[in-house]
Structure 1
Amino acid sequence: MTAYGGRPDQARRDAITVEIGYALFSAAFAAAVLFGAVAGPALLFDLPDTLERVLIRLGLGMAPVLFAARVISVLTRFHQHTAQQTTQPSQPGRTNPDS
């Protein structure tokens, strides 16, 4: 999937762009759901002040961690998938393309 000089061609750049977008949007969605699940009760119900602060701070602390973990896992999985595709021999069963 490389063109002249080892630079990625347009299809590879498009695949990378789509994968980065997917990683960011899915991570943002997962972080928002986690924040809503943890801090939501504190925002919706009349809870004691200490419990409200704990839940909101816990949600604010966990959401960025989940966001980063999701982005890293998606992009790592994509990198591993593309690395497997490029290391396969061009002709199955042969170790050298000139054989």
Structure 2
Amino acid sequence: MEHYGGRRTKAEQDAATVEIGYALCSAAFAAAVVFGAVAGPALLFDLPRTAELLLVRAGEIVAPVLFFARVVSVLLRFRQPGGLREPGGLSQPGSQPSQPGRTSPDS
């Protein structure tokens, strides 16, 4: 997506659609897990009323904040040049990490 103001190719549109879907699904999963971890004890165990209320309210606050933060972080990382990287953290295909003791392919 290097050209601003121009039309996107079909591949760029598809990549953006997939990235948005990934951002939303991973954010929903993370928010559900955090809500369950924070509010779960209040829903499973017989706790004092104040503790139940506090845990459920904390879960209701933390989960949406985490959801929003996850969506924004995934989409900003996608938007940055070189934001899509290989699982090993290498941005260029065929590039090698600069680690002591490793030889480069042309040596």
Indicate the TM-score class for this superposition, using the shorter chain for normalisation.
0.7 to 0.9
Aligned with 1:12: secondary structure? helix
1:50-61 equivalences under 5 Å are 50-61=50-61
Over the aligned positions, Cα root-mean-square deviation in angstroms equals 2.1
Aligned with 1:13: secondary structure? helix
Judge conservation of contact 1:39–1:56 (CA < 8 Å) in 2. yes
Tell me by how many angstroms 1:81 deviates: 3.5
Judge conservation of contact 2:77–2:83 (CA < 8 Å) in 1. no
Aligned with 1:7: secondary structure? coil
Tell me by how many angstroms 1:19 deviates: 0.0
Structure 1: which 5+ residue stretches go unaligned?
85-99
- Deviation sequence 1:37-74 (CA, Å, 0-9, x none): 00000000000000000000000000000000000000
Aligned to 1:73: 73
CA distance in 1, matches of 2:54, 2:60: 10
Higher relative contact order (CA 8 A, sep 6+): 1
Aligned to 2:23: 23
Judge conservation of contact 2:39–2:55 (CA < 8 Å) in 1. yes
Aligned with 1:8: secondary structure? coil
Which of structure 1's runs of 4+ aligned residues deviate more than 2 A? 81-84
Aligned with 1:46: secondary structure? coil
The two structures have a TM-score, normalised by structure 2, of 0.72
1:9-20 equivalences under 5 Å are 9-20=9-20
The two structures have a TM-score, normalised by structure 1, of 0.77
Aligned with 2:79: secondary structure? helix
Residues 11 and 2 (structure 1), Cα distance of their counterparts in 2 relative to 1, 3 Å cut? farther
Structure 2: which 5+ residue stretches go unaligned?
85-107
Letter in 1 for 2:27: A
